Structures are given as C-alpha cells and as structure tokens.
Amino acid sequence: MADAVLFEFLHTEMVAELWAQDPDPDPGPGGQKMSLSVLEGMGFRVGQAMAERLPRETLAFREELDVLKFLCKDLWVAVFQKQMDSLRTNHQGTYVLQDNSFPLLIRMSSGLQYLEEAPKFLAFTCGILRGALSTLGIKSLVTASVAALPACKFQVVIQRC
C-alpha cells in the first residue's frame, strides 16, 4: 500500500521533468500543448486502469449522471482522499466538477501568483478523468481551468459519436 504522498511527489517531479524536456526554451503554445498532452495521455492510461480494477457491480450505472457522481465521490476519494466539492450539469452532456482545494495545487501559494503554472498540474488529472470515463463506456473531452489557486474546475464534455 503506497502512501498517498508518494503520488504527489511523483506527480510534481513528472511535471518538472516533462517541462524541462521541452526543447523550445520559449514555450509557445505548440510546446506547451505537447507537454500537456503527454501528461494528459499518461493520466488517461492510469484512469483507464484504475477503473478497470473496480468490482463488476460498481460498473453498472443507470445513467450518465451516476457515472459522473461516482467520479466525484469514489474516484476522487481514491485518488485525492477527498470528494469533489460540486458537480453541475446542463443535462446536455456538459459537466463542471469543482474542487475548492485541489490537493495538487495546494502546495503552491493560493491566489493568483502561480496561475500560469497551474495548467501543468491539472493535465494528468484531466487524463485520469477521461481514462476512467473511457473504461466506463463514455467518450469525453476533459479540460480544466483555475480562477484562483487552489480552487479549480474540470469540464467534462461527453462526445457522442
């Protein structure tokens, strides 16, 4: 049983490492996007695998909203030892998940000082959400935004084929 703090330390180091690898010293939108998508891709595989390990009964959801509630409660507790603070939806496939004190942002000072850095710390988690949804049969696009640390919002848009 690995201690939760190990994940935090590893995640921080991964963000630093993937950013350092960026060959472009002036990270324009292109460079940033690549690093973010690598992190997101890694999170996706982790989210996929975590959801695959859930017991069968858990996977029988009646509705899409139940899946999102599950992510806000069970998945968030499993990953961050807390529940998501709020879940809103327009009932047309868009969900906004809000965490008022997102653990991966807490170590950075609160407010607006490190706003620019925040997306790097959210990419992996967006991937976890998208990966878990994928295993649960839902294709989605997950983005995150930060108004003021350590609060952040994850936007899940269901992709209907």
Partner 1 sequence: MSRQTNRGTESKKMSSELFTLTYGALVTQLCKDYENDEDVNKQLDKMGYNIGVRLIEDFLARSNVGRCHDFRETADVIAKVAFKMYLGITPGITNWSPAGDEFSLILENNPLVDFVELPDNHSSLIYSNLLCGVLRGALEMVQMAVEAKFVQDTLKGDGVTEIRMRFIRRIEDNLPAGEE
**Residue nearer to partner 1 on the CB measure, 106 or 141:** 106
By CB under 8 A, what part of segment 39-68 binds partner 1?
42-43, 45-46, 49-50, 53
The smaller minimum CB distance to partner 1, of residues 113 and 145, is found at 113
Report the half-sphere exposure of 106 (CA within 13 A, side-chain side).
10
Which three-class secondary structure state does DSSP give residue 20? helix
- 56 versus 160: smaller Cβ distance to partner 1: 56
Check residue 17 for interaction with partner 1 (CB under 8 A).
yes
Q: Which stretch binds partner 1 (CB under 8 A): 8-16, 22-30, 113-121, 137-145?
A: 8-16
The only residue of 1, 26, 63, 161 in contact with partner 1, by rule CB under 8 A: 1
Least Å from the CB of residue 161 to partner 1: 27
Helix (H/G/I), strand (E/B), else coil: 11: helix
Per-residue binding letters, 99-118, with partner 1 (x by CB under 8 A):
----x--x------------
Q: How far is the CB of 70 from partner 1 (least distance, A)?
A: 13
Question: Could you give the strand order of the β-sheet that contains 152-158, starting from the edge strand earlier in sequence?
Answer: 86-89, 94-99, 152-158, 140-145
**If 0-12 CB within 10 Å is exposed, 13-18 middle and 19+ buried, where does residue 155 land?**
middle
The number of residues in the chain equals: 161
24 binds partner 1 (CB under 8 A): no
Tokens (6 digits) for 158 = 């269901």
Of 54, 51, 58, whose CA–CA distance to 133 is shortest? 51
Instruction: Decide: 40 and 125 in contact? Cβ < 8 Å.
Output: no
Interface ranges with partner 1 (CB under 8 A): 1-7, 9-11, 13-14, 16-17, 21, 38, 42-43, 45-46, 49-50, 53, 77-79, 81-82, 103, 106, 124
